[in-house]
Amino acid sequence: MKQLTESIMYVGVNDNKKTIFEGLWPLPYGVSYNSYIVKGDSKIALIDTVEAGFEDEFFANIAQAAGERAVDYLVINHMEPDHSSLIAAVRAKWPDVTLVASAKAVPMIEGYYGVAGNIITVKDGDNIDLGGITLTFKMTPMLHWPETMMTYCPENQTIFSGDAFGCFGALDGDIVDGFEKYRDEMIRYYSNIVGKYGSSVQAAFKKLAGTQISRICSTHGPIWEKEIAEVTALYDKMSRYEPEKGVCIAYGSMYGNTAKAAESLAEELKSLGIPYAVHDLCTESPSFAYRDVFKYDTIAVGSPTYNNDIYPPVASFIHGLGARFVKNRKFFAFGSYTWANASVKMLNECAEAMGFEIIDPGKPFAQGFTKEKCDFKELASTLK
């Protein structure tokens, strides 16, 4: 338990055991499931729960924060199970607890956990008085599910933002701020989890305009106090698909030939001082390549031709770009083939469908090519 203000306490937990988030995304630095107690003179609210498996630590944190008092309200900002798993356990511990949720969350609460009754359904602008402390609700659908909302405490100028402004990485020691430390994991979290919902993030920004915010309490990662400007600027930029200069090279390779071309491209970019990152989609999760797609303005994709098609790990990566509505990017393709030169042409078709600017017709290299023959010099110089 960590005291954030006189009336707000952090009661979340760190998960350093899970290695893959949502069954998809690696967690090299763990993840936190954040939950908060808000104490008024007459009532206590718990904002969200944590993932199942952390019951003992979670309830011990709450006991430390609430003392002898019972939890009166459980505010459910988001129903994804990493935050909602212990709803039934909270109701079992405090049978009189009133759940507070959006209308769309109510059937999910019963569907997931068989919990019904004593639920206040809130809409935009509704308030709950905890006794000198108020909670106001702001509907933020599709950030990241349809039922999501944020909860604002005006007396503490604190927004409980759900997944928005969150990041991967367990918390250690000081749980407030640390933007530079968490920046890359914030981009990876955004690109992997929230990236599809840029327009919902922009709608949330509009809704929060004019709200005095001194503290952001999201469901993952640090609490933001001194670095709110940096965090919101990054989320704003990512949700507008606004990149910085650089190249994300993502490739798959069957026998090392397309890898050879990727290495040659990387060496050329390095010699020109152009920022880049290289991702082998056969040996690493696309999670990291998606991070760098959201970071850089150019995507270079390499694929051999396989079954007269794009190589499967690369095809899956490309599908993920479309699913995230990635836009405002330059694109070029490269690859290797033995007898059927199909992959580069097909990658270009995908890029065109996604509205990318194709800056080169592509470089399919035929069998027997060497790294020295992969001529990216002219193409790379246009990116300088």
Residues at the site binding ligand FEO, with contacts judged by CB under 6 A:
78, 80, 82-83, 144, 163, 219-220
Alpha helices by DSSP H, 138-211: 179-189, 198-208
- Rank residues 49 and 219 by Cβ distance to ligand FEO and give the closer one: 219
**In the complex, minimum distance from the CB of residue 382 to ligand FEO, in angstroms, rounded to a whole number:** 39
- Rank residues 91 and 220 by Cβ distance to ligand FEO and give the closer one: 220
- Rank residues 75 and 374 by Cβ distance to ligand FEO and give the closer one: 75
With b for 16 or more beta-carbon neighbours within 10 A and e for fewer, the 324-352 pattern comes to: bebeebbbbbbbbbeeebbbbebbbebbe
Residue in the block written with tokens 């890029």: 351
**Residue 347: both structure tokens together:** 């990658």
**In the complex, minimum distance from the CB of residue 144 to ligand FEO, in angstroms, rounded to a whole number:** 4
- Rank residues 140 and 264 by Cβ distance to ligand FEO and give the closer one: 140
From residue 323, how far is each of 30, 231, 317, 320, 332 by CA, in Å? 25, 24, 10, 5, 19
What's the CA gap between 48 and 148, in Å, rounded? 11
**In the complex, minimum distance from the CB of residue 21 to ligand FEO, in angstroms, rounded to a whole number:** 8
**In the complex, minimum distance from the CB of residue 82 to ligand FEO, in angstroms, rounded to a whole number:** 5
Share of the chain residues as helix, strand and coil, in percent rounded to the nearest 5: 35, 25, 40
**In the complex, minimum distance from the CB of residue 148 to ligand FEO, in angstroms, rounded to a whole number:** 8
**In the complex, minimum distance from the CB of residue 30 to ligand FEO, in angstroms, rounded to a whole number:** 14
**In the complex, minimum distance from the CB of residue 225 to ligand FEO, in angstroms, rounded to a whole number:** 21
What's the CA gap between 163 and 151, in Å, rounded? 12
From residue 118, how far is each of 30, 88, 91, 125, 267 by CA, in Å? 35, 13, 10, 20, 63
- Rank residues 196 and 207 by Cβ distance to ligand FEO and give the closer one: 196
Q: Please count the other Cβ atoms lying within 10 Å of the Cβ belonging to residue 315.
A: 19
**In the complex, minimum distance from the CB of residue 66 to ligand FEO, in angstroms, rounded to a whole number:** 24
- Rank residues 138 and 220 by Cβ distance to ligand FEO and give the closer one: 220
Q: What angle do CA 195, 343, 289 make, to 5 degrees?
A: 30
**In the complex, minimum distance from the CB of residue 220 to ligand FEO, in angstroms, rounded to a whole number:** 6
Query: Closest CB to ligand FEO belongs to which residue?
Result: 80
Q: CB of 256 within 8 A of CB of 284?
A: no
What's the CA gap between 64 and 82, in Å, rounded? 22
- Rank residues 83 and 138 by Cβ distance to ligand FEO and give the closer one: 83
- Rank residues 219 and 264 by Cβ distance to ligand FEO and give the closer one: 219
Q: What angle do CA 115, 161, 244 make, to 5 degrees?
A: 135
- Rank residues 83 and 215 by Cβ distance to ligand FEO and give the closer one: 83
Which of the 8 DSSP states describes residue 155?
G
